Amino acid sequence: MFGWLVAQSPEVVPLSAKVGTTVDAEENIIFRIFPDVIGFESAQIFALPDNTYEVKIAYLKYGRKKIKTLNYTFDQFITLKHMIDRKPAITLKDRQEIYKNLTYLRTSEILEKIPTGQFVVVKHVNGKKIRGILLPFVDNRLQIQTPVQVVDIPYYEVGGISYHKSFKTRLKWRKWIYAAGAMLGIGMAEIWNGHTKPVIEMTWHYRFMGLLLGLLGGQEMYEAVNIISSPKSHFTLSPEETLEIINLKK
């Protein structure tokens, strides 16, 4: 009986020799097989006993995989097959170019690798922009420290993010920035001394404290300059905007 059930199961058929039995996201975009499916991940076609075909399409919506079913007649299947067969085969370069823009399929991976502690701008899927300091990515949730609160965003609600992928170290600028911080600190100490007119011992104490605080401030300024002067990266993570970018590059 088990063998009979297996025999009756729908057979997975290749749509074309150029895509095989499973259509992936790169193939779907290059051949425009199912252009209306937002968040497309993969698809398989099953031959049914009545000479029709059932298409199972896996797609992502709000971080969850969903399945969409389409029914094709024999003529519709052949038309789609001929459309693909007439097009040039996909090259490795084509795949790589498309894959690097399919960010919605690897949102968690991208967010997990972003260096924390830096200022970022996050675009929510509802269009709102959130600015703040990036905290560690935990349990598939992005956390942003704003001036008033910590904003917690599920990864599938992140439409895009602007951040610094890496930081350049400006060693040649270091001594000048530290010197500027030290001079600023001593200058503030002199202003304080001028207003309070302390005894000579306290005057030098305030100068020393001003120098120390100025050097600490110089360190903060140096790190800020390294971050600000580093190249900025932007990732669009929503399926809709990702497809718009890919279509513009074609």
77: pLDDT strictly greater than 90: yes
Query: Per the structure block, which two tokens stand in for 236?
Result: 């669009």
The pLDDT-based confidence of 4 (bands split at 50, 70, 90) is very low
User: Mean pLDDT over all residues of the chain?
Assistant: 79
Domain 105-166+236-249 classified CATH 3.40.50.2030? Answer: no
Query: Which residue is associated with the tokens 């970018």?
Result: 245
26: pLDDT strictly greater than 70: yes
Spatial distance between the Cα atoms of 118 and 108, rounded to a whole number of angstroms: 18
Q: Across 64-68, 71-75, 242-246, which has the greatest mean pLDDT? A: 71-75
The pLDDT-based confidence of 217 (bands split at 50, 70, 90) is low
Spatial distance between the Cα atoms of 88 and 80, rounded to a whole number of angstroms: 15
The pLDDT-based confidence of 28 (bands split at 50, 70, 90) is very high
The pLDDT value given to residue 7: 47
Task: Provide the phi-psi class of 87: left if phi over 0, else alpha when psi is between -120 and 50, else beta.
Answer: beta
Domain ranges of the chain: 2-98, 105-166+236-249, 171-228
